[in-house]
């Protein structure tokens, strides 16, 4: 069905070309392929009202979680390329999940149009404070002393958080049990409750609970300390050399999205991310703007596939 929908897309182009002259003239939907509360959702709800103001139309955020992000992503892949259904995408659903799901039915590099890269999101390693663990060395000692290793949560199979955990496991040669969730919000909830002892998560999702003492961040996954939280050491500097994982959030549309609409959205997103108030808000949320134009966004996605393909194969990650 999906393949037939993709093949039929060219038949829609004349009507779409006629409609783009008065775009937008009705509400726009930003599809977030994850549960509420995760970093993608936070970013979407931050930019939606500003985009609505600039476009003169309502912008609605719609969460469509499940399938490692493929359910929401598939909704946009199948949507009419008219600029009214867009995707707030991440490395997890856009790169990692397709790498472990060869039967997805489409190649995201061909069926989605890059509009703008938006935000760079640091990955972190967090624990429940009740564990008493304060450093990566203490965590590794606990993992090695636990038969079968400790369980770790992530926002889903083949998410950036999952791959962060698999890379950590491989580099340290330890046993760990992956517990996938349907987004960062549910992971944080169970980590706070003590259902899981540790999790690899995006910093924006845990910064609030960490500041209130409900979670403890023991390391960041970036190659260098993040400038807005220089007090948190990197995982690499704590005895895991070569460890570096990043996540990101970008704006995409269906294949065939008219160039004038792509360019308009890209420029509006550039202006939104360049506003001082937005920059400060993102810093408060432990994220950084990394706007890229449509061509660079598509190139960046291809680079991500080339970089993470070998890692996924070495870790032997498969879709559930």
Supply the CATH number for residue 133's domain: 3.40.190.10
The Cα 272–Cα 256 span in angstroms is 25
**pLDDT of 10:** 57
Q: Which of 173, 204, 238 is the last residue of a domain?
A: 238
Query: Which tokens belong to 258?
Result: 């008219």
311 inside domain: yes
Domain co-membership, 7 together with 114 = yes
**pLDDT of 18:** 53
Tell whether the torsion through CA atoms of 87, 92, 98 and 104 is positive or negative. Answer: negative
**pLDDT of 9:** 55
The Cα 209–Cα 309 span in angstroms is 33
Q: Which of 238, 267, 282 is the last residue of a domain?
A: 238
Domain co-membership, 86 together with 110 = yes
Task: State the total domains in the chain.
Answer: 2
18 vs 208 pLDDT, higher one: 208
Q: What is the CA radius of gyration of the chain?
A: 20
Interval 173-221: pLDDT, tens: 999 999 999 888 899 999 999 999 999 998 888 888 999 999 999 999 9
The Cα 320–Cα 66 span in angstroms is 12
Q: Which structural domain, as residue segments, surrounds residue 232?
A: 122-238
320 inside domain: no
180 inside domain: yes
Instruction: Count Cβ neighbours within 10 Å for each residue of 54-77 and write b for 16 or more, e otherwise.
Output: bbebebebebbbebbbbbbbbbbb
Average pLDDT for the chain: 90
Over residues 234-255, the mean pLDDT reads 94
Domain co-membership, 220 together with 127 = yes
Domain co-membership, 115 together with 253 = yes
Per-residue pLDDT band at 305 (split at 50, 70, 90): very high
21 vs 79 pLDDT, higher one: 79
Domain co-membership, 102 together with 128 = no
Residue whose C-alpha is closest to residue 221's, from 242, 196, 191, 195? 242
Per-residue pLDDT band at 269 (split at 50, 70, 90): very high
Domain co-membership, 91 together with 169 = no
The Cα 235–Cα 281 span in angstroms is 26
Q: Which of 238, 264, 280 is the last residue of a domain?
A: 238
Domain co-membership, 81 together with 181 = no
**pLDDT of 63:** 96
Domain co-membership, 202 together with 154 = yes
49 inside domain: yes
Measure the CA dihedral 197/203/208/210, to 10°: 40
**pLDDT of 2:** 55
The Cα 31–Cα 45 span in angstroms is 11
Residue 301 backbone class (left: φ over 0; alpha: ψ -120 to 50; beta: rest): alpha
**pLDDT of 11:** 55
Query: Which tokens belong to 145?
Result: 């002393």
141 inside domain: yes
Tell whether the torsion through CA atoms of 105, 32, 201 and 303 is positive or negative. Answer: positive
Backbone angles phi, psi at 198, to 5 degrees: -150, 160
CATH number for the domain harbouring residue 98? 3.40.190.150
Domain co-membership, 229 together with 280 = no
Domain co-membership, 9 together with 156 = no
Query: Which tokens belong to 201?
Result: 């998560």
Per-residue pLDDT band at 307 (split at 50, 70, 90): confident
Interval 84-136: pLDDT, tens: 999 999 988 899 889 988 788 899 999 999 999 999 888 999 999 999 999 99
Domain co-membership, 14 together with 99 = yes
Domain co-membership, 252 together with 112 = yes
């Amino acid at each position: 069905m999906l393949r037939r929908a993709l093949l039929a897309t060219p038949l829609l182009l004349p009507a779409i070309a006629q409609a783009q002259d008065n775009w937008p003239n009705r509400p726009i939907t930003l599809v977030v392929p994850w549960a509420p509360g995760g970093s993608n959702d936070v970013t979407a709800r931050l930019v939606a009202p500003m985009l609505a103001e600039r476009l003169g139309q309502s912008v609605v955020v719609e969460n469509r979680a499940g399938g490692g992000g493929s359910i929401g992503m598939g909704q946009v892949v199948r949507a009419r390329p008219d600029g009214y259904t867009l995707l707030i995408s991440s490395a997890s659903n856009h790169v990692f999940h397709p790498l472990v799901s060869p039967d997805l039915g489409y190649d995201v590099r061909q069926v989605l149009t890059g509009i703008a890269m938006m935000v760079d999101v640091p990955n972190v390693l967090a624990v429940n404070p009740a564990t008493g663990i304060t450093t990566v060395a203490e965590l590794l000692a606990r993992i090695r002393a636990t038969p079968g290793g400790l369980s770790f949560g992530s926002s889903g199979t083949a998410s950036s958080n999952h791959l962060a955990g698999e890379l950590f496991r491989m580099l340290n040669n330890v046993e760990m049990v992956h517990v996938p969730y349907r987004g960062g919000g549910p992971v944080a909830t169970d980590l706070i409750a003590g259902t899981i002892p540790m999790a690899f998560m995006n910093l924006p999702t845990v910064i609030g609970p960490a500041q209130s003492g409900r979670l403890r961040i023991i390391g960041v996954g970036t190659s260098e300390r993040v400038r807005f939280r220089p007090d948190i050491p990197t995982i690499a500097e704590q005895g895991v050399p070569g460890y570096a994982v990043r996540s990101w959030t970008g704006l995409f549309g269906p294949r065939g999205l008219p160039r004038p609409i792509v360019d308009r959205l890209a420029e509006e997103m550039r202006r939104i991310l360049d506003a001082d108030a937005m920059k400060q808000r993102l810093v408060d949320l432990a994220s950084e703007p990394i706007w890229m134009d449509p061509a660079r966004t598509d190139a960046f996605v291809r680079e991500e596939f080339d970089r993470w393909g070998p890692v996924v194969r070495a870790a032997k990650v498969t879709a559930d």
